[in-house]
């Protein structure tokens, strides 16, 4: 049964593991040790103490397992904006097709008389690495053979039984052992040599998603994406198979560009503009987009 669902995921370009729910207790112990031994800043403490929820909410079915799926998406998109008649192109991430993935998982579980419900606020990267689905890169991003880092996770509680338990120790990518490309190419020095936990206070991905003025210490030339940051992923050898998996035909008219610069309410955007905004995922960080886009256009 498990192999069939994993095969279906692969056929759809995804990757999937079924994890016995008892391992949430193991993960809680791991995080307790992590909190005791790591020097965490306030944001990192908030993540491990408040954001992550390892208790299983009460469900109308017996939760036996967690379905963790990595949903592929393009490496990035080249996006064209027009301002005062001048066209400029920047990079943006692209959102995974969550609906298609959920549809085949739901269809499979229903055919096997099982149920699913989305599992929120789980530490998905940790689950992926301990389950053997992925490994950690030096940049604290997870990688999967065949997908590189070009995917998004989603998890579901289910009464589906796990037929093979692959839980194990945390795995760091062997490719990172003698490689420092991401460290050398991080525009803000957020990736550390001494551990696989980055300094989020310096990470452009983190800063790009929080509204307000950019810190003065950020080099102007480091800005290149509408949100997040792609520097460490583009240079990473583990993404070499993904270099051609990009979108190059997304354009915003000058009117649309101005609406984004003004932070025009999402609900008032045209259906065409809203489609592009949602495809690129900039709706998730919409309050920071006017500042980010303005900065890029001024380069």
pLDDT of residue 44: 87
pLDDT of residue 2: 56
In sequence order, the β-bridge partners of residue 246 are: 76
Question: How does strand 116-118 pair with strand 86-92?
Answer: unpaired
Task: Kindly report the backbone phi and psi dihedral angles of residue 139, in degrees, each rounded to the nearest multiple of 5, phi listed first.
Answer: -85, 10
Q: How far apart are CA 155 and CA 50, in angstroms?
A: 18
Question: Which residues of the chain have a pLDDT value below 50?
Answer: none
pLDDT digits (tens, 9 = 90+) for 198-243: 898 999 999 999 999 999 999 989 999 999 999 999 999 999 989 8
Q: How far apart are CA 97 and CA 35, in angstroms?
A: 34
Q: How far apart are CA 130 and CA 31, in angstroms?
A: 13
pLDDT digits (tens, 9 = 90+) for 164-189: 999 999 899 999 999 999 999 999 99
% of the chain with per-residue pLDDT over 90: 84
Q: How far apart are CA 78 and CA 225, in angstroms?
A: 9
Q: What is this structure's pTM? A: 0.93
Which segments of the chain does DSSP mark as H helices, in order?
2-11, 23-37, 42-46, 98-111, 124-131, 181-185, 204-208, 231-235, 254-261, 271-280, 289-297
Rg (CA), the chain: 20
Write out the two tokens for 245. Answer: 């998996």
Closest alpha carbon to 205 in 227, 184, 180? 227
In sequence order, the β-bridge partners of residue 20 are: 65
In sequence order, the β-bridge partners of residue 220 are: none
Distances (CA, A) of 78 to 82, 88, 120, 262: 13, 10, 31, 22
pLDDT of residue 1: 55
pLDDT of residue 11: 96
Residues 280/251, Cβ–Cβ less than 8 Å: no
**Domain extents in the chain:** 2-297
Write out the two tokens for 127. Answer: 């689950």
Closest alpha carbon to 87 in 251, 236, 211? 251
pLDDT of residue 3: 64
């Amino acid at each position: 049964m498990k192999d069939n669902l994993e095969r279906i995921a692969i056929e759809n370009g995804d990757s999937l593991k079924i994890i016995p729910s008892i391992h949430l207790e193991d993960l809680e112990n791991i995080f307790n040790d992590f909190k005791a031994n790591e020097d965490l800043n306030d944001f990192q403490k908030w993540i491990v103490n408040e954001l992550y929820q390892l208790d299983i909410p009460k469900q109308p079915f017996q939760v036996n397992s967690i379905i963790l799926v990595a949903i592929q998406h393009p490496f990035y998109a080249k996006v064209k904006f027009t301002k005062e008649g001048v066209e400029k192109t920047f990079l943006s991430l692209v959102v995974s097709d969550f609906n298609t993935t959920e549809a085949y998982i739901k269809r499979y579980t229903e055919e096997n008389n099982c149920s699913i419900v989305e599992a929120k606020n789980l530490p998905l990267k940790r689950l992926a690495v301990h389950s053997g689905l992925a490994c950690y890169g030096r940049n604290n991003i997870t990688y999967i053979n065949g997908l590189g880092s070009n995917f998004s996770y989603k998890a579901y509680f289910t009464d589906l039984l796990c037929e093979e338990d692959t839980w194990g120790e945390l795995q760091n990518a062997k490719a990172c052992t003698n490689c420092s490309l991401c460290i050398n190419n991080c525009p803000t020095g957020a990736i550390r040599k001494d551990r696989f936990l980055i300094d989020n206070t310096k990470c452009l991905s983190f800063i790009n998603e929080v509204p307000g003025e950019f810190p003065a210490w950020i080099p102007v030339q480091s800005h290149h994406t509408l949100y997040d940051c792609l520097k460490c992923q583009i240079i990473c050898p583990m993404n070499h198979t993904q270099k051609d998996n990009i979108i190059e035909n997304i354009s915003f008219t000058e009117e649309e560009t101005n609406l984004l610069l003004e932070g025009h309410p999402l609900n008032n955007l045209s259906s065409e503009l809203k489609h592009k905004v949602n495809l690129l995922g900039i709706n998730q960080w919409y309050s920071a987009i006017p500042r980010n886009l303005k900065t890029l256009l001024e380069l």
